[in-house]
Amino acid sequence: MSRARAARPAPAAPRTVLTVDIGGTHVKVLRSGLDPEQRRRFVSGPELTPAAMVRGVQALVDDWTFDAVSVGYPGPVLHGQPVHNPANLGPGWVGFDYARAFGCPLKLINDAAMQALGSYQGGSLLFLGLGTGLGTALIVDGVLEPMELAHLPYRKKTYEDYVGLRGLKRLGKKAWRREVGRVTALLMQALAPDEAVLGGGNAALLEGHLDHLPAGVRLGDNSNAFVGGFRLWADDLNARPRPHRQARPDRAATSAAEVPTRPARRRTVKAK
């Protein structure tokens, strides 16, 4: 007589998540349940390897406990692994075993996609991350798609050469703000999102200068990268969202518990 096999219960969501946001100038960390002001960071730069990143994070959070890790990676990610080494950091990022190095369950996603996930409030969203480079991601009715638009040709160079850190240093703040407005308008016209969010470390330079930006644009908060990291573990990986579109001013914020994802490149999020 054959014996029926009991159904295996779905794994429980981790109680505490450590989000690691890797940037070209700093690596920033925050644990779920803490205030964003309690985030910690250390300097990155062109010599930073993944092993050095892990050691730096572990030293920084030695007094924190956590069950899982989310990593925002500054480059393209496919099936949870970097596709190539980041332009602004050291070597060795492709093929590195991040989960083994941290010693716990881990999810790795493009850094702009992670901040987009934390900024999402429903409908369709274009995210532009203005930092050392230009990070881009699109969410349409809950489906998150990281993009690599930074190195597409724009004028005599690329988008990143005008609105990334190199452009800011070359053009100065005033001309850089105008370029951000032009690039944002151009990409919004092409992709037709309900709204666009400008995030990243240099988005703060646009505060008080929103006249250069098209309608339907809001400034993001860098703490949204941590929210996105927490949301990666927040719900059933196989859940799919219901299409949801509202007028921009009335769109309600999405709770972390309503944002499911999938492990592959295309990730699913859910709005109220």
pLDDT digits (tens, 9 = 90+) for 233-247: 985 432 333 333 444
Distance separating alpha carbons of residues 37 and 93, to the nearest angstrom? 29
Q: How far is CA 187 from CA 55, 60, 121, in A?
A: 38, 38, 20
70 exposure class (CB count in 10 Å sphere: 0-12, 13-18, 19+): buried
Confidence at residue 241, expressed as pLDDT on a 0 to 100 scale: 37
* Residue numbers of the chain with a pLDDT score lower than 50: 1-9, 236-266, 272
Q: What secondary structure letter does DSSP report for 229?
A: H
pLDDT in tens, 34-54: 999 999 999 999 999 999 999
Q: What is the pLDDT of residue 221?
A: 87
Closest by Cα among 116, 118, 114 to 127: 116
Number of Cα atoms under 13 Å in the Cβ half of residue 149: 26
Give me the pLDDT at residue 244, please: 38
Tally the C-alpha atoms within 13 A of residue 12's C-alpha that lie toward its C-beta.
4
> What's the predicted TM-score (pTM) here?
0.78
Spatial distance between the Cα atoms of 17 and 67, rounded to a whole number of angstroms:
6
The pLDDT of residue 212: 85
Tokens of 132: 């050392």
Could you give the CA distance from residue 40 to residue 20 in angstroms, rounded to a whole number? Answer: 10
Residue with tokens 């993009």: 147
The pLDDT value recorded for residue 24 is 84
